Structure 1
Amino acid sequence: MGKRIWVSGYRAWELNVYGDQDPKLAVIKYVLKAQLRQELDADMDWLITGGELGVEQWAASVGLSLKADYPELQIAMMTPYADFGHQWQENNQATLATLQQQVDFARSTSTRPYESGRQLGAYNRFMAQHTDGAVFVYDPEFVGKPQYAWAAANAEANRREYPVRNVSMLDLEDAARDYAEQQRDE
């Protein structure tokens, strides 16, 4: 049986990525592709992510691009409540809706609209308990929104065998150098 891997991390604004043409986005997708290929080669068959603007949507997008090489890959996009993203700008709502249509499975862990932070805590526990490991683009030295998901994943790792991998800021810097070299060589 394959593995279900939870992928999460920083929001776009936390990484100062603004728009699809931002050069930092190419590096982040390069890193995500490498991480996902590593997981696929280690028997991942489900990529499970959320719908947040940033690493989660980028992971879903990269996962969709990998399906040509890994047709067995299934992608799930889980959100913490029913009206997730409804307050976003129209173009961001449209991007979320498009991704939700393209992935293999899209649901919310709560059927109710946003009511309180308890839904977010329940969501993080659900994600950790229903996956076999996690990959985060998150650096605990640079605290951000993913800190609660990161804590839930690490709590799960303390309960059972649950590998939690992270891409730190240093890893991103290294990847930027590798990516730049690769672009020069092409």
Structure 2
Amino acid sequence: MKKVVISGYKPFEVGVFKKDDIAISFIKKAIRRNLETLMNEGLEWVIISGQLGTELWAAEVVFDMQIEGYEQLQLAVITPFYNQEQTWNDQNKEWYEFVISQADFVDSVSRKNYESPWQFRLKNQFLIEKSDAMILFYDSDREGSPKYLYEAVRTYQEKYSYSLHFITFSDLESLFEEEQFQNRQDD
């Protein structure tokens, strides 16, 4: 297991509208747990497409882990097309540009600006084919943009061995309950 794609919901799809929302800390903890498990299986690369939300939170987790001594862990940002951040607000552009500046590898699947949805489908297929596994923040009871990536993985799995790890809302609830329990123990 050398390369894993991380993707999932965008902030507005999970009701996150502020950078300091408590939910982000639990999403990041869930991402980190998955990454630590995969590190034991030889994980070297985390691949994202640079989308707001889960993907940029995952990049921040990778950067934290690199600082903490996981030097072998690297981040690749492979965007679906050039200038995907063009229509984003300034705060989101700054966040994205910071991640791009710190990534170990940056490229685009389509070497053009946005033209049509086919670029997203091509990006999904490319990321799946170039990785060994995926961590997907997705719950089938709460559809959103990750649905398309999930469906692409399921189709790919019909022919090839590919590992899919979910982060669900119940996983986040469990992390929250663990923290509450730990806080009561510490009091």
TM-score of the superposed pair, with normalisation by structure 2: 0.94
**TM superposition shift of 1:183:** 4.5
**TM superposition shift of 1:96:** 0.3
Which residue identity lines up with residue 173 of structure 1 in the other structure?
Answer: E
> Aligned partners of 1:38, 1:181: CA distance in 2, in Å?
23
> Aligned partners of 1:4, 1:55: CA distance in 2, in Å?
17
Residue ranges of structure 2 left out of the alignment (5+ in a row): none
The residue that corresponds to 1:8 in the other structure is: 7
Residues paired across the two proteins, number = 185
**TM superposition shift of 1:185:** 4.7
Asked if structure 2 preserves the Cα contact closer than 8 Å seen for 1:10 and 1:55, the reply is yes
Distance 1:60 1:184, change over 3 A: farther
User: Does 1:165 pair with 2:165?
Assistant: yes
The residue that corresponds to 1:177 in the other structure is: 177
Asked if structure 2 preserves the Cα contact closer than 8 Å seen for 1:11 and 1:145, the reply is yes
The residue that corresponds to 1:149 in the other structure is: 149
**TM superposition shift of 1:81:** 0.7
The residue that corresponds to 2:107 in the other structure is: 107
> Aligned partners of 1:183, 1:20: CA distance in 2, in Å?
23
The residue that corresponds to 2:51 in the other structure is: 52
Which residue identity lines up with residue 94 of structure 1 in the other structure?
Answer: E
The residue that corresponds to 2:69 in the other structure is: 69
Distance 1:118 1:65, change over 3 A: same
**TM superposition shift of 1:40:** 1.0
TM-score of the superposed pair, with normalisation by structure 1: 0.94
Which residue identity lines up with residue 51 of structure 2 in the other structure?
Answer: E
The residue that corresponds to 1:29 in the other structure is: 28
> Aligned partners of 2:183, 2:12: CA distance in 1, in Å?
25
> Aligned partners of 1:117, 1:183: CA distance in 2, in Å?
46
% identical equivalent positions: 28
The residue that corresponds to 2:16 in the other structure is: 17
Cα root mean square deviation, aligned: 1.3
